[in-house]
Structure 1
Amino acid sequence: MILSSNVITSKGFLGFFQKKSVEVVAGFDEPAIIPEPAFISKQASLSVESKNDEEIKNEMNEMKRLLQEMRQSVSFSNFPDELKPLLTYLENQGLSKELILQVGNEIFGQMKENKKDFSKEEQLQIAMTVLSKEFSELPFGGITFSRKFINVLGPTGVGKTTTIAKIAARALLEHKKKIGFITTDTYRIAAIEQLRTYANLLQAPVEIAYNSNDFEDAIMKMKDLDLIFIDTAGRNYKEMKFVDDLKRLIDFSLDMESFLVLSVTSKEEDMKTIINRFTSFPVEKFIFTKVDETGSIGPMFNLMRQYKIGTAYYTDGQEVPEDIVEADVDKMLKLLLAGAKHA
């Protein structure tokens, strides 16, 4: 299928096109053998030879990126004008194409069936129903209080220590649990001091684990507590070395709940990279932080849908213990759709 064609005079892809040429963008569903036009064959071979491998690789990556953007672009041309503001809003929120089309098709189908247009409120209600059903099978909600160890994983800069303090404070103040902390973040003095400050305010003990023996000793010292919160090191977990270090340090066979903390201000692809690094860990739910610092929270839903992992909490500020919300589907969807009334 020909998508577009242009007469161009600038150098094109891989240096194939010199002077005045025709650029054609086409797509196909099945693998196909595309014959090479005779009039550019000689230019092509000469142009490729003049480039080094790195230049060719960079140009190929750029072309892949542009094609991916084209594939991800959602077309609303088949939907009535009354529906486009909501769909555009969801697109701006970063919600995946598949989920947006599910919402659009359901609303449009009901409009045709009822032979009338729907108000924004009616559209939002249908959107809530469609998306609620999509995530109904995933687990939501905070710590269960049925396991002794609460392990919080995640890369640097996502707010793990502050998030742990919020959860621990609520366990102490609202549920009257005896709590303690173990930190394995021995790479940053500031992180240890930050946790100690929170622990002092909560009158809870803190142990530092530099290695697996320290970790076992800390567990023994805290054996009489109800809950032990483990603050893991914030590292660049795109590198498998740090993932392996974490496996050697913490005994994941313990009676433990593990949560993966991700900042919603991060790029979705970067969050996917982190999640993929932790697939061998017993991650039960996500914790999303910095919701108040972004206007696009659709990636939270994309990640839950792709990895079949629910959400325990999301945070919307720095105040401890106030700025944390125990997640459920309705709360998260209302957060997603909050601005749609004014779209």
Structure 2
Amino acid sequence: MKVKKFQAGTMPEVMKKVKKELGTDAVILNSKPIKVGGVLGLFKKSHVEVIAAVDPTIEHVPKKETKTEMKGDFSGQNAPNDELLKELKSLKAMIQTQHHQPSYPAAIESIHRHLVSQEVEPMLAKELADELQKLTANRDISDEQWTNLAEDELQKKLTHLSFGHESFKKQYVHLVGPTGVGKTTTVAKIAADALLNKHLKVAFITTDTYRIAAIDQLKTYAKILDIPLEVAYSLEDYIQAREKFEDYDLVLIDTAGRNFRDAHYVNELRKVVDFTEDTETYLVLSLTSKYPDMSNIYQQFADIPIKKLIFTKEDETSRMGGAISMAVNHNIGVAYVTYGQNVPDDIKPASRKSLVRSVMEAAANG
């Protein structure tokens, strides 16, 4: 497989580059809008970035061979693109799953394809399609009824799980998760809601001492909300901070965002944070992440009791299948969904119905 990244001002322009270099048999693996150029972050131009691949064993290869192989240069470095390799493995698994699936009626096949396009985990999408086929055997059903049936079956998968959030059961609440998912902003949103709407006495603790910017950001929120903040550099600091805030109704702990795909960092977290019975822990994940990555992160916390998930960046994606897959496959509920940077706004309690509807909406409109 020959893989290369292309950039141009518009999709037609970038596709010309793809066809010229990889030929007409090239397959688009990923595409996204990007910003390039500019000065000091200003005046950047909108471009389109495409990752394309072609099998060099096929007959219709371009006349001009390129030297860019899978091991080639995707970003200016001669190293494999791990994220791309994972996407290719996921794509291969999806194709294998589809290859072995039974032959569905056209309406069910359309729903199945839609679920997969929404990044519902392939085996879960197949399971739902199989159930639809059993339910609708020898029945004459309209397009609208097909969509409604699919929604009902998907909701059944989530019925036993807890969605939304009314109040925290414990005094000390940890938010954990990888870098870049928006934990600090989410902490501030939850604090503002508890303070302004529930009239609770709230305090902050941060253990994210790896990034000065994170501490400064939380300090700003603490000042605006008039909430006390303690910075914990060690487990001893953390315990002292908790003792200092023992008279508070809710103490929100913002933890360091590290590479939690490596179990080492979860062990490091335990050296600073005490996950005891009087705490609740919520795992924050970005909806822009792929399901396999979210699942790997969750599994790294196997020894830490995760109460619920919090999903961020709903405004940055149109695919919500990963969230449903996480809930179903890991048997865990969802507390909140966030959709922007505004504090105290841009956060809402998670809804089972809303999550399913967001996945099936495009199918209904199609």
TM above 0.5, one fold?
Answer: yes
Amino acid at match of 1:145: F
Q: Deviation at 1:77?
A: 7.1
User: Larger Rg: 1 or 2?
Assistant: 1
Paired position in structure 1 for 2:142: 118
Distance 1:66 1:314 in 2: 27
Distance 1:164 1:65 in 2: 32
Q: Could you report, residue by residue, the CA deviation over 1:217-270 in whole angstroms, capped at 9, with x for unpaired residues? A: 111221221000000001112222221111121111141111001112122222
- Within-5 A mapping of 1:31-180: 67-73=92-98, 78-113=103-138, 115-120=139-144, 122-142=145-165, 144-180=167-203
Contact 1:103 1:127 in 2 (8 A): yes
Aligned residues: 287
Q: Could you report, residue by residue, the CA deviation over 1:106-138 in whole angstroms, capped at 9, with x for unpaired residues? A: 44444434x313232x12221121111111112
Distance 1:167 1:155 in 2: 18
Distance 2:346 2:259 in 1: 26
Paired position in structure 1 for 2:230: 207
The counterpart of 1:240, out of the listed 248, 259, 263, is 263
Paired position in structure 1 for 2:213: 190
Unaligned runs of 5+ in 1: 1-18, 20-60
Paired position in structure 1 for 2:40: none
Aligned residues: CA RMSD: 2.9
Contact 2:205 2:230 in 1 (8 A): yes
Q: Deviation at 1:314?
A: 1.3
TM-score (norm 2): 0.72
Paired position in structure 1 for 2:351: 328
Q: Deviation at 1:213?
A: 1.3
The counterpart of 1:312, out of the listed 309, 319, 335, is 335
Distance 1:293 1:329 in 2: 20
Q: Could you report, residue by residue, the CA deviation over 1:81-122 in whole angstroms, capped at 9, with x for unpaired residues? A: 234433222110011233323433444444434x313232x1
Q: Deviation at 1:65?
A: 6.7
Distance 1:134 1:63 in 2: 28
- Structure 1 or 2: larger helix share? 1
Paired position in structure 2 for 1:44: none
Amino acid at match of 1:279: A
- Residue 307 to residue 66, structure 1, CA distance change in 2 (3 Å): closer
The counterpart of 1:255, out of the listed 278, 301, 305, is 278
- Residue 200 to residue 342, structure 1, CA distance change in 2 (3 Å): same
Between stretches 73-82 and 98-107, larger displacement belongs to 73-82
SS in 2 for 1:325: strand
Contact 1:82 1:117 in 2 (8 A): no
Contact 1:171 1:177 in 2 (8 A): yes
Contact 1:179 1:204 in 2 (8 A): yes
Distance 2:355 2:91 in 1: 31
Contact 1:199 1:205 in 2 (8 A): yes
Distance 1:119 1:69 in 2: 25
- Residue 235 to residue 118, structure 1, CA distance change in 2 (3 Å): same
Amino acid at match of 2:111: L
Q: Deviation at 1:180?
A: 0.5
Contact 2:191 2:202 in 1 (8 A): yes
Distance 2:320 2:88 in 1: 27
Contact 1:170 1:321 in 2 (8 A): yes
Distance 1:191 1:62 in 2: 30
- Residue 276 to residue 148, structure 1, CA distance change in 2 (3 Å): same
TM-score (norm 1): 0.76
Contact 1:103 1:126 in 2 (8 A): no
- Residue 326 to residue 150, structure 1, CA distance change in 2 (3 Å): same
Amino acid at match of 2:116: E
Distance 2:340 2:266 in 1: 28
Paired position in structure 2 for 1:341: 364
The counterpart of 2:296, out of the listed 250, 259, 273, is 273
SS in 2 for 1:68: helix
Distance 1:198 1:66 in 2: 41
Distance 1:62 1:140 in 2: 29
